[in-house]
């Protein structure tokens, strides 16, 4: 285990961005923080993106992570949602300036956390709970995804199913 290694995972979304801060310890992984960055619909898009940037930058400055994991965009049928997510990813990437960043698709996250790339969200959450030795399933879903992403980065550091996902 990469003892002491700390990473932050981000699940980007304009209305709700999930995050998880996980550190490798002597007895497994420890959750240091997790939650969501939410932006009100009444604000302009530039204001919302600025708020996400500031919150993400604040987490990075508070925890000094070794690296950042961020979910890749999954293009579905809604192009507008995909574009808003892309903009959110962009401001998070700006906030990570100077740090290694690794991107993971939803399929890669599912496969790394559960061993099955088509696992249901509930299965991923159950495994995140188990891997992080949590008393309850992490909620909301966006935070659970942020924790799963942080674990993926830590798995890479340990060489578990290592693939190259570096942006830098």
Q: What is the DSSP letter of 135?
A: S
11, 55, 145, 156: which one is catalytic? Answer: 11
Determine the length of the chain: 168
| Active-site hit among 33, 55, 72, 142 | 142
Q: Please tell me which residue in 26, 33, 51, 71 is annotated as part of the active site.
A: 71
CA dihedral 18, 62, 135, 71 (to 10 degrees): 30
Q: Residue 145 catalytic?
A: no
Cα distance between residue 56 and residue 59, in whole Å: 5
How many CB atoms lie under 10 A from the CB of residue 7? 28
Residue 11 falls in the annotated catalytic set: yes
Active site residue 156: no
Which residues are known catalytic residues? 11, 71, 142
């Amino acid at each position: 285990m990469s003892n002491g290694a700390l990473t932050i995972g981000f699940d980007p979304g304009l209305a709700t961005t999930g995050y998880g801060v996980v550190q490798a310890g002597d007895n497994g992984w420890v959750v240091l923080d997790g939650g969501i960055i939410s932006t009100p619909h009444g604000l302009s898009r530039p204001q919302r993106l600025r708020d996400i940037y500031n919150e993400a930058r604040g987490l990075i400055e508070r925890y000094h992570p070794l690296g950042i994991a961020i979910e890749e965009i999954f293009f579905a049928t809604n192009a507008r949602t995909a574009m808003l997510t892309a903009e959110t990813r962009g401001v998070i990437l700006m906030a990570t300036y100077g740090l290694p960043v690794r991107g993971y698709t939803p399929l890669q996250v599912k496969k790394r956390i559960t061993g099955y790339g088509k696992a249901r969200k509930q299965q991923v959450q159950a495994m995140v709970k188990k891997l992080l030795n949590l008393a309850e399933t992490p909620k909301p879903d966006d935070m659970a995804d942020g924790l799963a992403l942080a674990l993926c980065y830590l798995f890479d550091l340990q060489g578990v199913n290592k693939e190259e996902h570096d942006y830098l």
